[in-house]
Amino acid sequence: MLNLPLQPRYVLPPLCLIVLSTLLASLGMNNELEFNRPLIEQGQLWRLFTSQFVHANWVHLGLNCAGIALIWLLHGEYTTPKQYSFNIALLALWCGLGVYWFCPTITIYTGLSALLHGVIVWGAIKDVTVGLKSGYILFIGVWIKLILEQVNGPSAEIGQLIQSTVAVDAHLIGAIGGVILAVPLVVKHIKNDTKHS
């Protein structure tokens, strides 16, 4: 039987993220919140952060909500509401800044997928630090996916579904953010290993 993280402290944070993104989609807030390079350069800096929470269409939102649910299934018990909020907020800012700095050809950008790559990488590293070998498999799997995206380019099929080009460079930026976010986990793990050896 599956041991799902069903306690409110594990369910509410990802549910709030889904509700927030769905609410913004329902209100049609893309024009006000999406990553829009010319408008950011005119001073609308909030778009660096808010662009992660709006989506190109309902299919795009649905795919990302499925990603949120998958991460909850895999790693829901690892975070408190405070830790979850911190991870999401920091990765949202990191991804927005990363797209701005390192992807000069991206003019318009939306979606949670880059941020979610960071969250799943953080979770894979957390798996490793608590002794789960599956963490290595997940970590390697994510990086194989990212390398294939870099080599082959964005998926045309997904692009058609979401009516937008998949921003594979943003996925890479998000995953790097997840590694950086996990540095304290690794340091703590190494310190604990040193104490017990």
| pLDDT tens-digit map of 102-123 | 999 999 999 999 999 999 999 9
Mean pLDDT estimate for the chain:
94
As a whole number of angstroms, the distance between CA 90 and CA 85 comes to 8
pLDDT tens digits for 64-116?
999 999 999 999 999 999 999 999 999 999 999 999 999 999 999 999 999 99
pLDDT of residue 19: 98
Tell whether the model's pLDDT for residue 125 goes beyond 80. Answer: yes
Distance (Å, whole) CA 33 – CA 44:
9
pLDDT of residue 197: 61
Q: Which residues contact 119 (CB under 8 A, 6 or more apart)?
A: 71, 75, 87, 88, 91, 178
Can you tell me which residue has the tokens 């998958």?
A: 70
- Summarised one tens digit per residue, pLDDT across range 145-159 is 999 999 998 888 888
Spell out the domains of the chain, with CATH numbers in brackets.
8-196 (1.20.1540.10)
pLDDT at 31: 96
Q: Evaluate if residue 63 carries a pLDDT over 90.
A: yes
Contact between 149 and 171 under an 8 Å Cβ cutoff? The reply is: yes
